[in-house]
Structure 1
Amino acid sequence: MAATALIVIDMLSPYAHEDVELLERSAERVVPPLAELVRRAHPRDDVELVYVNDNYGDFTASREQLEDRARKGRRPDLVEPLLPPDDCDFLPKVRHSAFFGTSLDYLLTQRGVETVILTGQVTEQCILYTGLDAYIRHYAISVPRDCVAHIHADLAEAALKMMERNMRAEITVAEECLDL
Structure 2
Amino acid sequence: MPGTALIVIDMINTYEHQDAHLLLPSVREAVGPMSALIARARREGVDVIYVNDNFGRWRSHHDELLETALAGPHADLVEPVRPDDDSLFVVKARHSIFYQTPLEYLLRSQQTDHIVLCGQVTEQCVLYSALDAHIRHVGVTVVRDAVAHIHADLADAALRMMKRNMGAALVDSEDAGVFEAGGA
- Report the TM-score, using the length of structure 2 for normalisation: 0.94
Q: Which has the higher helix share?
A: 1
Asked whether the equivalents of residues 116 and 179 of structure 2 are also in contact (C-alpha less than 8 Å), the reply is no
- CA-CA distance at 1:161 after TM superposition: 0.6
After superposition, residues 1-180 of structure 1 pair within 5 angstroms as: 2-45=2-45, 47-176=46-175, 177-178=178-179
The percentage of aligned residue pairs carrying the same residue is: 49
| Structure 1 gaps, min length 5 | none
Cα offsets for 1:96-145 (capped at 9, x unmatched) = 00001111011111111111101100000000000000000001110010
Asked whether the equivalents of residues 116 and 141 of structure 1 are also in contact (C-alpha less than 8 Å), the reply is yes
- Supply the distance in 2 between the matched residues of 1:96 and 1:106 (Cα, whole angstroms): 18
Residue 133 of structure 1 aligns to a residue whose secondary structure is helix
Residue type of the partner of 1:68? E
Asked whether the equivalents of residues 143 and 172 of structure 1 are also in contact (C-alpha less than 8 Å), the reply is yes
Residue 74 of structure 1 aligns to a residue whose secondary structure is coil
- Supply the distance in 2 between the matched residues of 1:170 and 1:111 (Cα, whole angstroms): 22
- CA-CA distance at 1:43 after TM superposition: 3.4
- CA-CA distance at 1:48 after TM superposition: 1.5
- Report the TM-score, using the length of structure 1 for normalisation: 0.96
Asked whether the equivalents of residues 5 and 116 of structure 1 are also in contact (C-alpha less than 8 Å), the reply is yes
Structure 1: 4+ residue segments shifted above 6 A: none
Residue-pair matches, total: 179
Residue 145 of structure 2 aligns to a residue whose secondary structure is helix
- CA-CA distance at 1:74 after TM superposition: 2.4
- CA-CA distance at 1:88 after TM superposition: 1.2
Cα offsets for 1:127-176 (capped at 9, x unmatched) = 00000000000011100100100000000001101100000001110111
Q: CA RMSD in A?
A: 1.3
